[in-house]
A and B are shown apart, each in its own frame.
Chain A
């Protein structure tokens, strides 16, 4: 009987580790996939001179399809006016540069949050990828 009581106490604690392992793998896969999608969109934006609405929509759609994140939860803040390739570096980083920031919510960070007393509002986060790239678009 003693063994059973000890097992009943320990098993949930041990299972949290298993669940956390799975959750870590899932979140890591989400972030890796997000990196790939943002990289692809950035390469397209370099050719177009900015994040056109088509590129942004495609990016959101791909993230939604691959990661299952609702499109309205994906935040894309990027240069939307065409930047053209220039033959000097602008120290202000305004001319010829495309800035972008893509944020995606991470639904759950800790497994067994309720058991550990972590409220669901605190057990989530936002992963953001941001960067700058030089436009390759030539003036028409």
Chain B
């Protein structure tokens, strides 16, 4: 009986450890992936600019086109992550350009994207809970 109890204890410890390791690796990969997506979203949104304002010497990011691009990106990422009902991926966008403060010397136009991923628990172990992953990236147009 003693041997059996020790065996069960070792089995539970091992299963717990393997489960934790797998979930943690997945969590780390998810963070890396979302960071890359946030960078992609910020860099992509910063590509679209107001041509009329630019002809007057101002760099103004085209918010409407940038928003469309980020929404397209989020839709694709949602499909890749296979988000279930109740899970969501949202983006917060902050744009700094010549229309709202970047006209001052030393400040570059920039787009900051913050992704909020809400999922059902990433860890299968009952005593660990992680339901939100937040990653942010900033793309700066340094030469303007």
B102 to chain A, nearest CB (A): 19
* Beta-carbon contact of B72 and A91 below 8 Å: yes
A116 CB within 8 Å of chain B? no
* Beta-carbon contact of A91 and B68 below 8 Å: yes
Residue among A3, A39, A130 with most chain B CB within 10 A: A39
Number of A-B contacts (CB under 8 A): 69
Given A35-B33, A91-B72, are A3 and B65 also a contact pair (CB < 8 Å)?
Answer: no
Residue in B closest to A10 when the chains form the complex, CB atoms = B7
Given A14-B10, A130-B80, A136-B47, are A87 and B65 also a contact pair (CB < 8 Å)?
Answer: yes
Interchain CA distance A115-B22 in the complex, whole Å: 21
B95 CB within 8 Å of chain A? no
A125 CB within 8 Å of chain B? no
B55 CB within 8 Å of chain A? no
A14 to chain B, nearest CB (A): 6
A120 CB within 8 Å of chain B? no
Q: Collect the chain A residues with CB atoms within 8 Å of residue B69's CB.
A: 89, 134
B79-112 toward A: CB 8 Å interface, digit per residue (1/0)?
Answer: 0100000000000000000000000000000000
A54 CB within 8 Å of chain B? no
Q: Collect the chain A residues with CB atoms within 8 Å of residue B33's CB.
A: 35
Q: Collect the chain B residues with CB atoms within 8 Å of residue A64's CB.
A: none
Given A93-B72, A131-B76, are A21 and B17 also a contact pair (CB < 8 Å)?
Answer: yes
Chain B binding surface, main DSSP class: helix
A87 to chain B, nearest CB (A): 6
* Beta-carbon contact of A87 and B49 below 8 Å: yes
Interchain CA distance A130-B76 in the complex, whole Å: 10
* Beta-carbon contact of B43 and A87 below 8 Å: no
Given A17-B14, A35-B29, A93-B72, are A85 and B47 also a contact pair (CB < 8 Å)?
Answer: yes
Q: Which of B15, B36, B43 contacts A39 (CB 8 A)?
A: B36
Q: Collect the chain A residues with CB atoms within 8 Å of residue B47's CB.
A: 85, 87, 134, 136
* Beta-carbon contact of A32 and B32 below 8 Å: yes
Given A85-B47, A131-B76, A136-B47, are A3 and B10 also a contact pair (CB < 8 Å)?
Answer: no
Q: Collect the chain A residues with CB atoms within 8 Å of residue B36's CB.
A: 35, 39, 131
Q: Collect the chain B residues with CB atoms within 8 Å of residue A17's CB.
A: 14-15, 17-18
B78 CB within 8 Å of chain A? no
B11-53 toward A: CB 8 Å interface, digit per residue (1/0)?
Answer: 1001101100110010011001100110010011001110100
CB-based closest 3 A-B pairs: A134-B44, A17-B14, A28-B25
